[in-house]
Amino acid sequence: MPITLDRMTRRFLVVPGRRMGSILIVSLLCFFAVFSLGVWKIENNIREGNFRFLEETASRIGRAIALRINASSHAMEAVGMGHVHDSDEEHFARVERIYNRLGLDSLIYVGTNGVGHDHAGKRYDFTDNSAVMAALGGVTSVFDCRLLLEDGEEGNHAGHLGLAVPVLQDDMVVGAVVADVGLHLGRNILNSALLDGKLVFSIFDSRGTLLLESSDFADEEQKSRSRYLEAIAEEMEKEGMARRIEESGGKRTSFAFTSKDGRSHSAVLVPIPEYNLCTLVVSTGRFGIEEFAFVDRTVYMLFVLSTGLLGLLCVMLCLFYRYCRRLAFVDPVTRGMSPVRFELEYDRKMAFAGREDASLYCIDINRFKLINDFFGHEEGNRLLSLLYANMKRELPGEATCLCRASRDKFMLLVCGIGQDLILSSLDRAMQASIREFGSREGTGRNSSFSVSVGICPITEEVSDLAVVKDHADLARERASMSFGNFIHYGFFDEEDMQRARRWHSIESCMTQSLEEGDFYILLQPKVVLSTGIICGAEALVRWHHPQLGLIMPDEFIPLFERNGFVKRIDMWVFKRVCAMMAGWIAKGYRLLPVSVNLSRCDLENRLSLAEELAKIADAYGVPHEYLDLEITETSFYKDPASIRRVVDGMRKASFQCSIDDFGTGYSSLNLLPDLSVATIKIDRSFLSSGDMEKSSEVIRMVVELADRLGMKVIAEGVETEEQREFLRSCSCQVGQGFLYSKPVSEEEFERMAFGSEGTQAQDKSAKES
């Protein structure tokens, strides 16, 4: 069955496979770029959050150090005032208390001359110490207390932050107090959260001298977790803290660096302006990673997984796209162009090559069903493939476009080439195909076939492929000219155009006519040949259109079978017959069987047909056995198994079934044993045959065979007394035809079949009323 695609799908599939692959690769790269941007954004947010936390931590440490230095300076100032006013005994007691409370490593009183001593009496000279001299000038200062150590002396203090506080009396500086406050600051500021190896901090003066760092207060376990401090300190030395402090301009500064072990570190430098100090908080390389490690790993795992899945999906889409293109564009039998591809090529050629001297050829193999049934479907497909290949070889490739349009029909688009050359090419292809098909495997098969060709010129007025194809089909059906021994061809002409217009007019008004009651039925009696008594009827549909006039069944039924409208007509006839028979029941008439014709379209893929008909009959209260469903013999050829199942379903529903036009096919006798039908209707062609002697033998044989199978026989087309006597001599029981009656209206049939019954029924009704 040909594949039909909408315009959007055709445009999608027309894209070459390599281009589609490129599109998918570009899509994958775009996804990679978007995903990478997302990952970068996440990492950037983590980095910014890291810096924000470091800034807050550094600010908190800076504020705490400033507060502690301020508290220490007040305590030291009190010590200095006690040195001035208290007695030596009271003074030393006060110093001892402050010394123990603050945990100071040293406490030194300095006179205005810059020379001082500690509580143990040790002498110190601070005349060269700018911080202490600044304190003697009235300004509290901090300094590197390693200056308090003498050469070769090692301090046991934590940190190197010294504090110098002026001592005032009557607003006059009378001295200064100097102390190492590093241990005091560290014990009050640091906690395990800072010392667990995630963050470290350092205090620098304005010259970049390291005064205090968090590792000074860590225990051994904490120090092992803070093994990066040494490397960080080296890098800070390389970076030059003095330069960084100078460049910061007294403002908060964030930066990152990589230590020699390859780890990345984030750092924040926050000033403590009151004392010209700076707090440096550094990530050891784990902060901002451990907290977000799960997110980071998850993102990358999702990226790898999604990239892999997307890549696999792209590969699968490419393969599926190639499969869809092959399915849509490649005919499975001939491996050539499909109807979908042909339509695309047709549009392209009409757009670029123009319609001048362009024609569409419709090529159909005559009686291809015979070839399929005699040699099998596989051989039939091989014949189609051979014919296609030979036509492709013989036809001019650049000016033609060929495809298999349906089962045994080909379409050929020709541009700028005369018909004689095309027909000659087709004739050579036919000869080659017959020769190759008959010589397979040395069987000596002598099988010949012919084709019918319809030719329709393409013009500006008629260029739509569907219309041109219909016109070529019409010309093919009327092919009367011959070319060689195997080709019959015909042209679409004015007569065909008139017929096409007529068909278009019929199609445009068929639905409205059915709704408005332009269709009606006639009944042709069936008569017992021996007695002349009417024993049934056949319902025949007629159409009288207000504008088109009387349209005969042989004109509109084939058209309705092509467009599928025959299904609605047959259902309407069936309902009308049921309504008529319900009227007979209401009038008290005896029921006579009435035949209703069913088209092949009614039977195809409709296993529920019997159920649908049963519902209609039951709605009108008509017994099923009085409804005879006539099926033409040719309906069984396309899909006999499916049709048999439908017929079996109708017989199970108690409907009568008949084979109409029996004898018009080539395998009629083969059908009889497998069909559960009650009646055989012999086609009228047997009675119109010139050789009545042979027809008599055939009819006798059919009647005898039907009798043995338990079937009745009805003869159609009985028009003369001689034909009636002939049928009686052949033991045929029932006939219908013009000898007895032409098709009549329902009222006339009732008069003919129920004349006396009608009078009796009317008298009975009058008496009852």
Q: What pLDDT is attached to residue 764?
A: 47
| Contacts for 405 with CB less than 8 Å, ≥ 6 apart | 2, 339, 342, 362, 411, 469
Beta bridge partners of 325: none
Is residue 97 over pLDDT 90?
no
**Per-residue pLDDT reduced to its tens digit, 223-242:** 444 444 555 555 555 456 66
What does pTM read for this prediction?
0.52
**pLDDT tens sequence across 15-32:** 555 666 677 677 777 877
H/E stretch holding 279:
strand 277-283
* pLDDT score for 357: 79
Better pLDDT: 428 or 441: 428
HEC-encoded secondary structure of 100-165:
HHHCCCCEEEECCCCEEEECCCCEEECCCCHHHHHHHCCCCEEEEHHHHCCCCCCCCCCCCEEEEE
Which residues face 537 on adjacent strands? 525, 594
Averaging pLDDT over each range in 59-73, 163-177, 525-539, which range is the top one? 525-539
Are the C-beta atoms of residues 659 and 633 closer than 8 Å to each other?
yes
Q: Which domains does the chain have, with CATH numbers?
A: 189-283 (3.30.450.20), 333-492 (3.30.70.270), 502-764 (3.20.20.450)
User: Does residue 380 carry a pLDDT above 60?
Assistant: yes
Query: What pLDDT is stored for residue 187 in this prediction?
Result: 58
**Is the pLDDT reported for residue 222 higher than 50?**
no
- Is pLDDT at 535 greater than 80 in this prediction? yes
The C-alpha atoms of residue 2 and residue 343 are separated, in whole angstroms, by 12
pLDDT of residue 645: 83
Tell me the HSE value of 430 on the side-chain side, using a 13 A CA sphere.
22
For the segment 468-478, the average pLDDT, to the nearest whole number, is 86
Q: At what angle do helices 692-708 and 721-729 cross, to 10 degrees?
A: 50
Q: What is the mean pLDDT of the chain?
A: 78
Question: Please, are residues 362 and 473 in contact by the beta-carbon 8 Å criterion?
Answer: yes
| CA–CA separation, 680 and 658 (whole Å) | 6
In the chain, the N- to C-terminal Cα span, in Å, equals 63
Q: How confident is the model at residue 354, as a pLDDT?
A: 64
pLDDT at 763 over 50: no
Helix/strand/coil for 396? coil
Task: Tell me the per-residue pLDDT of 126-146, one tens digit each, with 9 for 90 and over.
Answer: 888 888 888 888 888 888 777
Task: Work out the pLDDT band at 221, boundaries 50, 70, 90.
Answer: very low
Mind listing the pLDDT tens digit for each residue in 313-357? Answer: 777 777 777 777 777 788 888 888 888 888 888 888 887 766 677
Q: Is the pLDDT of residue 596 over 90?
A: yes
List, in order, residues 6 or more apart from 233 with CB less than 8 Å away.
Answer: 202, 210, 213
Under 8 Å between Cβ of 216 and 233: no
Q: What is the reported pLDDT for 296? A: 65
Instruction: Judge whether residue 480 has pLDDT over 60.
Output: yes
Which pair of tokens denotes residue 33?
């770029």
DSSP 323-345: HHHHHHHB-TTTSSB-HHHHHHH
User: Which residue has better confidence, 751 or 643?
Assistant: 751
User: How high is the pLDDT of residue 102?
Assistant: 61
At residue 453, the pLDDT reads 92
Instruction: Specify the pLDDT at position 579.
Output: 96
